[in-house]
Each structure stands twice: as C-alpha cells, then as structure tokens.
Chains A and B, each alone.
Chain A
Amino acid sequence: GAVVSQHPSRVICKSGTSVKIECRSLDFQATTMFWYRQFPKQSLMLMATSNEGSKATYEQGVEKDKFLINHASLTLSTLTVTSAHPEDSSFYICSAREGTGSNYGYTFGSGTRLTVV
C-alpha cells in the first residue's frame, strides 16, 4: 500500500529558531499533500493544502509566514515552522492524496512532535 514517511518524529528547538519537517511519498507520486496540526485529545486541524509546483493554500487563521510550505517535487513536501515559540509546540501530521480518478484515498505520515523551549 501507499506509504508516507515523515521526519523527524520528534524535535526540540529553542524559541526563535526555525525547524523543518519533511513529508515524503515513498511509492507513489503525490500532487497534493496536506499538513495538519493536532492538539492533545483533539481532532486533526487542517493547516494547509500543498500542491506540487504551486503555492500552498492555507486555512483561515493559519499564518502563512510562520508555517512555510514547499512542495517542490511529486514526492516531497516540507513544512518549516519559522521563529518558533512555545505556543507552536504541537503534533504535526502530513498526508498525501493517492490514487487516480474517483478511486482515491489519503495516507498519513507518522507525525512529528514539536517542542519549543
């Protein structure tokens, strides 16, 4: 089946620094990837939709300049949290849409636990 690899699984960074999270589709090409944020005991909150070769589409309330998304190839999307602050600490999850036509589905990465100290 489709596999999405997300790295790192855990990262601790100092306040004010930037951190990059990678999301790779290993056995399929993903023209569309998604980035989610999940708070403890809550559902996944979509942050942005990443389309290969074009600008990401951000959900309302998500700061574009803080959460930089790059989808430069059909197998890689990155999320960079810039000037991170403790309130950015969260669980970040990527997802990729796979399949063709109406026979599509979504595969999720294993998530990245970001802690900003």
Chain B
Amino acid sequence: QQQVKQSPQSLIVQKGGISIINCAYENTAFDYFPWYQQFPGKGPALLIAIRPDVSEKKEGRFTISFNKSAKQFSLHIMDSQPGDSATYFCAASSYFGNEKLTFGTGTRLTIIP
C-alpha cells in the first residue's frame, strides 16, 4: 500500500531532447506528489510537485503529468541540458497518513551532448 514504483532506473538523453520518468503508486490516500532532484553529495531539492486536483503542472522546462485513475504520474524535462544530469526521485505522501514521504527508487539521468 505504501509503495511508489519508479522507472527507468537510468536514462540517457541527448541534449535538447525530452527526458521522461514515470512513477506509479498504490495508496489512493496519497495527496501530494513531489519530484526531487539530487546531485552527488547534496540533499534532494524540490523540483516540482502536484496535488491530485489537477492533471498537469508546468514550471519552466519541467512538467508533471498526473493520472489519478491509473495511479501514475510522470516528470517530463523538455530541452534537456547537461546541467540536468542528476538523480531524480518521485515521492508521495498523505495528509491524513503518518506524514512521511514514500520515495521511489530513483532515476539516474545523464544528458549527453
């Protein structure tokens, strides 16, 4: 019930291309779906987050698509740049749950020239 499954484990995208990372969850009580970006030796930084009352949220080159019926959400990075090379984690939490974030397993993204 608390799992968040993330794919792919690693992803290589050419500069300027679109990077897509997918996550699926089981707990229908989840009401907050953030994506975090982590560089080596640093803590995760919030990239973008969505709540289930909308199906899409866009901030600059980053877009979250949310499918409540399928219990899936994805991160799209448009015009991917070498500086986007990092590990990305999806996560989910429930306001009425035990307050903790449930993380996906992470995706190591590499943007090549």
Contact = CB atoms under 8 A, between A and B. Distances in A.
- Tell me whether A and B are bound partners: yes
Interface of A: 6, 32, 34, 41-44, 46, 49, 91, 93, 95, 97, 101-102, 104-111, 113
B101 A113 contact: no
Nearest to A34: B100
B99 interface: yes
Contact of A105 (B42, B44, B46, B108): B46
Interface of B: 31-32, 34, 36, 41-46, 49, 51, 89, 91, 93, 95, 98-101, 103-106, 108
Contacts of B41: 91, 111, 113
A3 B104 CA distance: 23
Nearest to A57: B98
Given A44-B44, A93-B44, A105 B103 contact: no
Instruction: Report the 6 A-B pairs with minimum CB-CB distance, sorted nearest first.
Output: A108-B43, A111-B43, A110-B43, A108-B44, A93-B43, A43-B103
Contacts of B43: 6, 93, 108-111
B93 A106 contact: yes
B105 to A, nearest CB: 5
Contacts of A109: 43
B99 A49 contact: yes
Contacts of A106: 34, 46, 91, 93, 101
B101 A102 contact: no
